Amino acid sequence: MRRGPSSPMRLLYSRAVSCTMAFENSSMTRRNLALNVSRGDDTPRPIASWYTEGTSDGVGDRLLMFDNSGTPSLELLRFRRELAAVSGFEEALRQRVGRLDAFVHPAFPQVRAVDRLEGGGLALVSTFTTGRRLSEVFRTTSRSGVQLTFAARVIKDVTSAMADLQKQGPGIAHGGLTPDRIVLTPDGRLVITEHVLGAALERLQLPVNRLWQDLGVLAPENGGGAARLDCRTDVIQLGWMVLSMLLGRR
């Protein structure tokens, strides 16, 4: 883990936080209060920030950003350039984020911004969820699979959350539901991350086999042979995860 304002990634952090502030005035208020807290001699307490690398996959690299201001920690998904360069990818992502702007649900992190980074990269900024990813559970589970009670609980919670997401409008679906995007929090909740990706991933027009090989996503075909990322995709992906849990393998 690196820390301190001298890090080149400090600029990335500052840009992400500035976008966050624009989307939530309360964050700005809390941050200003943190700056004005004195040590007893009327000297403002400086904000220290640090970051650490998160998971990486075919979609992109993740950066976890923290500070001591009391505001929520952030996760920045930096998309792979070849994906972000596809025509319509960024537009579809921004449209999906806009459609779900008012969607607040305990099973989904809050999306703060879609931002262009220094150097032209594209990133999705969301609140960070602490916990263990379901994919980690798969890797540490024996061949006999997970306990049935745990599998039943995951199925119930994910199914309920996905139903609430799909109620937000026609064509709304996760589209990229994988074990890497389900987090088991320390307080026992299940949180489904990156729920705004589906529309953008569909713009890639990847064949079903490429979508699985490159991004780890199962999906049905549309009429032209490319993968279709809709509500059916969520059902297929959930079914695959259920089998993985019960069989103890991916």
Mean pLDDT, the chain, whole residue set: 80
Predicted confidence at residue 82, as pLDDT, reads: 95
Span 92-106, mean pLDDT? 96
Give all domains of the chain, ordered by start, each with its CATH number.
2-127 (3.30.200.20), 132-247 (1.10.510.10)
Side-chain-side CA neighbours of 183 within 13 Å: the count stands at 18
Question: What pLDDT score was predicted for residue 11?
Answer: 46
Residue 250 has a pLDDT of: 57
pLDDT tens digits along 18-44: 444 433 333 333 333 333 333 344 555
Q: With a cut of 90, say whether residue 12 has pLDDT above it.
A: no
Residues in Cβ contact with 201 at an 8 Å cutoff, skipping those fewer than 6 apart: 59, 175, 176, 211, 215, 217, 229
Q: What per-residue confidence (pLDDT) applies to 1?
A: 41
pLDDT average, residue stretch 101-110:
96
Residue 51 has a pLDDT of 77
For residue 8, is pLDDT > 70? no
Share in percent of the chain as helix, strand, coil (round to 5): 40, 20, 40
119-149 per-position pLDDT tens digit:
889 999 999 999 999 888 877 765 666 778 8
Contact 18, 25 (CB under 8 A): no
Q: What is the pTM of this model?
A: 0.78
Alpha carbon of residue 213 to chain centroid:
20
Separation between Cα atoms, residue 1 and residue 15, nearest integer Å: 20
79-88, 109-118, 142-151: which range is least confident on average? Answer: 142-151
Q: What is the pLDDT of residues 37-69, one digit of tens each?
A: 333 445 555 666 777 888 899 999 999 988 777
Instruction: Give pLDDT tens digits for 155-167.
Output: 999 999 999 999 9
